[in-house]
Amino acid sequence: MMQLSSFALATAVALIPFTSAAPAEAKTTDGISSCGSAWMPRDDVAIGQATDKRPGFSSAVQAFCSAANGRTVKPNGYLSLSTEVFLNGGKNPSEYGIQGFVNFEVHNKIKSDHTISKNDCLRYLNALSADGGKCSGADNKDTKGGTWQVGPDGISYHALGYETPPKEDAVNKIFEGSAITAQSANKGAGPPLKPWPFGSLDNIKPVACHSHNDYDRNVPVFSAFSAGCIAIEADVFLSGGDVIIGHVFPTPGRTLRLQYTEPLRAILDHNNGGSPGEIGIYKARPDQKIVLMVDFKTSDSKTLDAVVAALQPLRDGKYLSHVADGKFVQRAVTVVASGNAPFDRIDSGDGVPNRDVFYDANVDKLESKYTTINSYYASADFKSAIGNPSSPAAFSDSQKAKVKSQVDAAHAAGLKVRYWNLPGEYMWEPLAALGVDYLNADDMSNTARLRRIQYSANYKNISSKPPETMQLPSMSLPAVLGLASLATAHMQMTSPPPFRSSHNPYTTSVDYDMNSPLEASGANYPCKGYHKLLGTPQGRSVATWRAGGSYSFSVAGSATHNGGSCQVSLSYDGGQTFTAIHSYVGGCPLKSTWPFTLPNDTPAGEALFAWSWFNNIGNREMYMNCAHVTIEGRAAAADAEAGAGAGADAGAEAETAAGVSLNERAPSDPFRSRPRMFAANVANGCSTVEGADVLFPKLGPDVDNVSRKTSPPRGNCN
């Protein structure tokens, strides 16, 4: 099977019935024979008030047709691929929707081979979303997908949206031999989905929502994370020494461990490369923590014992928040016990290893006994505690004052606030403005309108701080929902266009977070991990340069962090080693374009061109974008001129065929004498100093130094 790079610009899915068979086909020749039932926006869509983007139908079609191009489908055979797409339920996709999947399938019903042509494939499938077409929506530029029939009962091209991935191993892979079928979510013994589409969550950014009664969703766990929620909830009953899930009538065999803790452990291990690590549920925001709220429906003391036992997979992976040395230590998952949970046992740690279960206090009846050592949430029934406004306009000043008073008291105690039983989800924005930390969500698709959680430049690891010292304004929901977007903060290289960039013409899976730094763990060093795209359609060369030529690179973005120091480097071994070509100390990247000249003896071949940056102020970070470039040897005439060395023309520029100047330095310092690229702040034992421009230990011969204050790095640095 052919592996595609993850197509997961992913995010959130409208609730679509779990039908998986292609619709019945009419006797249509070279046209649309039927439409599907799941609405998909035609174009990529900005959600969360433009703080995130999700893939539309056209992007998915482009990926499938590119992957299928030239493939042969045998008689009575199938060729399929499933990939992520936004499902908008026929509503405005910028405000409503959730990530799902579109299943593409070519079914050959004739007696001879059918070879797929990319151009024909694009023509057939894009017709399903054409304006005014049979399967297109009039108001939201969306489509139900459907089937294009090539010849009477001959070749069918299907494109159908579903809420779940297929049963077959076909997510972002070509699958041949048989048709693919969407999964039905499991609400019995076992995980909600199997196989679990791990890579489909990679690009999802979190939002401050609490998936209320998550176990009742069409797809427990997955729908919440597809929406970006940072809290999920399961109601449990004690039964036969274990805890099973349900609100009134629990399902035998549907245990907390099978439906929640084991899937959470699997996701976390996957994100950390197959074993426990520091990265959380959301790879796009690896420091973001989540809450697993367990609502105790039985008051038997053994319920807590069974919950503690069910958490063992997360405990073994060191993923649970806990108490150590009298202090709250936050990890990837904080477990909050609600309902009939026994506060006294949780407070004393009776039967709770490491004290890794925390209480859900009453925010409307907050007592001094609720602290960060025994509690995490402070919750209340909104209608009982505050009232029942029929709209945001009906939310009275006295009601707002009551909420503000309760929020302030909870925050003073270091607790997080959530209200349930809201009059409607129209209350999200007013509550966020008053400082409520978690928005109770019943319709995951509605969360598309909420801003994604933004991290301030000088306080990135918000969730890693214990509540008693957490700077709430840095992650307050007014900032999350109401302030200007930080989605274009930081900087990124735009030319030459790097891998996964929207500026790169070969990109089919855009990283809309290109301007973010490398992970502090070093997990995506170098090149944000995209150097692995070399040799794939997305990794094709974007520039051809000649040894000795003078060129420039460009950067864009809004948060320059008072500049800093940059380097440009080349790698010829797929990113294992980088050779620094030019160093810029101070002031980088305060302007958009930066010149450099390749050494005269730069090796010819395919190379990675890397721009790296170490910011002056803010978190100690390393930024790095990489592009595939082709290096050609110097023209023979230019070589001869360089060999002459002296004379009035020694410093002249010789033009290449492409019109690029060849800088005839005296001659240039040889490529092999250039230093290795500097790396720091990526868990490699080397760090930079805030407030100063890092002075690279090995600068090399080509240096621009405009810094007013430099500092060498600290630690074991190259």
Q: What is the secondary structure of 327-360 as a DSSP string?
A: EEE--SEEEEEEET--HHHHHHTTT-GGG--EEE
Reported residue count of the chain is 718
191 touches 259 (CB < 8 A): yes
* pLDDT value of position 503: 85
- Distance separating alpha carbons of residues 138 and 92, to the nearest angstrom: 11
Q: Render the burial of 347-381: b for 16+ CB within 10 Å, e for the rest.
A: bebeebeebbbbbbbbbbebeeebbbbbbbbbbbe
415 touches 378 (CB < 8 A): yes
Question: Residue 203, by phi and psi: left (phi above 0), alpha (psi -120 to 50) or beta?
Answer: alpha
In the chain, ranges of CATH 2.70.50.70 domains: 492-634+667-715
Q: Which residues pair with 555 in a beta bridge?
A: 493
- Distance separating alpha carbons of residues 635 and 22, to the nearest angstrom: 58
Straight-line distance from the first to the last Cα atom of the chain, in angstroms, rounded to the nearest whole number: 42
- The DSSP-derived string for 619-673 is S---EEEEEEEEEEPPPHHHHHHHHH--STTTT--EE-TTS-EE---SSPPPGGG
Encoded amino acid at 125, one letter: L
**Spatial CA neighbour of 355 closest among 316, 320, 313, 318:** 320
Instruction: Pull the structure tokens for residue 295.
Output: 């609502």
| Residue 172: Cβ within 10 Å count | 24
**What is the third-level CATH fold of 207-447?**
TIM Barrel (3.20.20)
- Distance separating alpha carbons of residues 495 and 500, to the nearest angstrom: 13
Rg of the Cα trace of the chain? 28
100 touches 85 (CB < 8 A): yes
In the chain, ranges of CATH 3.20.20 domains: 207-447
677 touches 623 (CB < 8 A): no
Which helix (H) or strand (E) segment holds residue 494: the answer is: strand 491-495
**Spatial CA neighbour of 530 closest among 270, 202, 278:** 202
* pLDDT value of position 667: 53
- Distance separating alpha carbons of residues 349 and 374, to the nearest angstrom: 9
Where do the H-state alpha helices sit in 98-158? 118-126
For residue 152, give every residue at least 6 positions away whose Cβ sits within 8 Å of its Cβ, in sequence order, or none: 27, 28, 29
78 touches 174 (CB < 8 A): no
Max intra-chain CA distance, the chain: 95
* pLDDT value of position 562: 77
Give me the average pLDDT of each 10-residue run along the chain (718 residues): 36 35 54 96 95 95 96 97 97 97 97 96 97 94 97 90 97 94 93 93 94 93 97 96 89 94 96 90 92 96 97 97 95 98 97 96 97 98 97 96 96 96 96 96 96 56 32 36 37 92 85 82 94 94 94 81 92 97 94 92 96 88 96 61 40 33 55 95 92 93 94 91
| Residue 518: Cβ within 10 Å count | 22
**What is the third-level CATH fold of 492-634+667-715?**
Coagulation Factor XIII; Chain A, domain 1 (2.70.50)
Task: Give the phi and the psi of residue 400 in degrees, each rounded to 5.
Answer: -60, -40
- Distance separating alpha carbons of residues 99 and 13, to the nearest angstrom: 4
**Spatial CA neighbour of 31 closest among 161, 159, 138, 152:** 152
106 touches 170 (CB < 8 A): no
Helices (H) and strands (E) in the chain, counts: 13, 38
